[in-house]
Amino acid sequence: MLALTIDSSLQTSEESHQQLIGEGLAEQLLDEILGKRYMAAGGDPRQYPLTASAAGLAATGRSQFDDIDDYNGYHARPIEDRWTQPLGSEDDRGGLRHPAFRFPADRMLAWRYQVDVYYVDDANLERRLPTGQTSYHRAVEVSVLRRDTGDAEWRVVSRLRRVVAYIPQSS
């Protein structure tokens, strides 16, 4: 009985640890996204479809993403920084840390990012609009998923959603 209690306690502790990591990863990427412009300079706030610009699509990683819709459909495994360096080994400038200060190379292989950017109803921000409909509000949803060794399925560890609004500049 004691062994079962200890095993259950260890599993709960590991799940809590993974949840904490997942939330931190989701918050970090969401902060990056929300620090970008609502739309490309001179663009249409109700553009459709929401997709990266040609420069964003041609670039390595997220280094050229300059507005929120560039992130729509973005996914990465393992989790990476803006320049495609594995998280835990990057120096936050597109390079690598000294080897003594890096995570083990396989540390983040069990994790992945997934981003969805979509329009929501101006009158009901909880309601996702059907494909092709636009509004002046977009939701940004960042999911962090994990797959344990031997598992076939990815499970959502953390999902964060924020709604942003287009507010025209006053003249």
Whether residue 171 lies inside any domain: the answer is no
Per-residue confidence (pLDDT) for residue 45, from 0 to 100 = 95
pLDDT of 2 over the 80 cut: no
**pLDDT tens per residue across span 79-120:** 888 888 777 777 777 778 778 877 776 778 889 999 999 999
**pLDDT tens per residue across span 68-82:** 999 999 998 888 888
Whether residue 140 lies inside any domain: the answer is yes
**pLDDT tens per residue across span 110-164:** 899 999 999 999 999 999 999 999 999 999 999 999 998 888 899 999 999 999 9
pTM: 0.84
Whether residue 99 lies inside any domain: the answer is yes
How many residues make up the chain in this entry? 171
**Is-contact 140 125, C-beta < 8 A?**
no
The residues near 22 (Cβ < 8 Å, ≥ 6 apart) are 111, 144, 146, 157, 158
Whether residue 170 lies inside any domain: the answer is no
Q: Is 117 exposed, middle or buried (0-12, 13-18, 19+ CB in 10 A)?
A: buried
Whether residue 137 lies inside any domain: the answer is yes
Q: Which domain holds residue 74?
A: 2-165
Task: State yes or no: cis peptide before 99, omega within 30 of 0.
Answer: no
Confidence at 9, pLDDT banded by 50, 70, 90: low
For the chain, how many structural domains are there in total? Answer: 1
Hey, which bits of 12-154 come out as E strands? 75-76, 111-119, 137-146
Mean pLDDT value across residues 41-68? 87
Confidence at 14, pLDDT banded by 50, 70, 90: confident
**Is-contact 118 139, C-beta < 8 A?**
yes
Whether residue 48 lies inside any domain: the answer is yes
Whether residue 124 lies inside any domain: the answer is yes
Average pLDDT, the chain: 87
- Residue 64 corresponds to which tokens in the numbers above? 């050229």
Whether residue 120 lies inside any domain: the answer is yes
Per-residue confidence (pLDDT) for residue 10, from 0 to 100 = 52
